[in-house]
Amino acid sequence: MKSLISFIVASFLFLGLSAQKTDLKKMPLADKTSYLTDLGRQAIDLFTEDMIGDDVAPVISKRLTFKKEKRFPEELHKNKGRKYYEVVFHDKSKGAHPQAKFTVLVWEDDGQPFWVNLGSSMNIFFLEERHPYSEYVKNGLPDYWPKYHYESHSDDYLE
């Protein structure tokens, strides 16, 4: 009986810790920063070829509130009022355009990205009903969708 109770308590503790990994609201700041940095890199690397170096630290926003904007598709507008974080990696390598950046928006309540911008007008949205982020992580990109190659280096911007 003692071992059954111990097993049940251990199971609840494990489930609580697992859930905490994606519950950004309750996560300590250092863990949240690490989680958002790793997730941001993963989301960008999923769609690009080595676009950001390991030495590039992101700028992570304070908690933001989702509102209807033209940049978001109509399907995302139902999330009005939902909290999220913005993770931005700036490409500051020599020759990069001064405005070159890669952005990932992550929901606070489930820790999943819902929008990726690859430093240009290329935006990728993850709609849970049709194209959840977890599907791309698990299965990779479809064959018809090549990895994006961002041309950040231009002679126009060399010092």
pLDDT tens digits, 110-119: 999 999 988 7
What percent of the chain clears pLDDT 70, i.e. is strictly above it? 65
The owner of tokens 């769609």 is: 47
Flag the least confident range among 22-26, 122-126, 129-133, 151-155: 151-155
- Residue 21 has a pLDDT of 40
- Residue 48 has a pLDDT of 78
- Residue 111 has a pLDDT of 93
* 104 has a pLDDT exceeding 90: yes
Domain ranges of the chain: 23-157
Flag the least confident range among 57-61, 82-86, 98-102, 104-108: 98-102
Are 82 and 10 in contact by the 8 Å Cβ rule? The answer is no
- Residue 35 has a pLDDT of 95
Q: Over the range 97-127, which residues count as b (16 or more CB within 10 Å of their CB) and which as e? A: beebbbbbbbbbeebbbbbbbbbeeeebbbe
What percent of the chain clears pLDDT 90, i.e. is strictly above it? 28
Section 138-156 average pLDDT? 60
- Residue 117 has a pLDDT of 87
146 confidence band (pLDDT: 50, 70, 90): low
11 or 76: which leads in pLDDT: 76
Span 120-134, pLDDT tens digits:
667 788 877 677 788
List the alpha helices (DSSP H) in 24-93: 29-47
Are 63 and 85 in contact by the 8 Å Cβ rule? The answer is yes
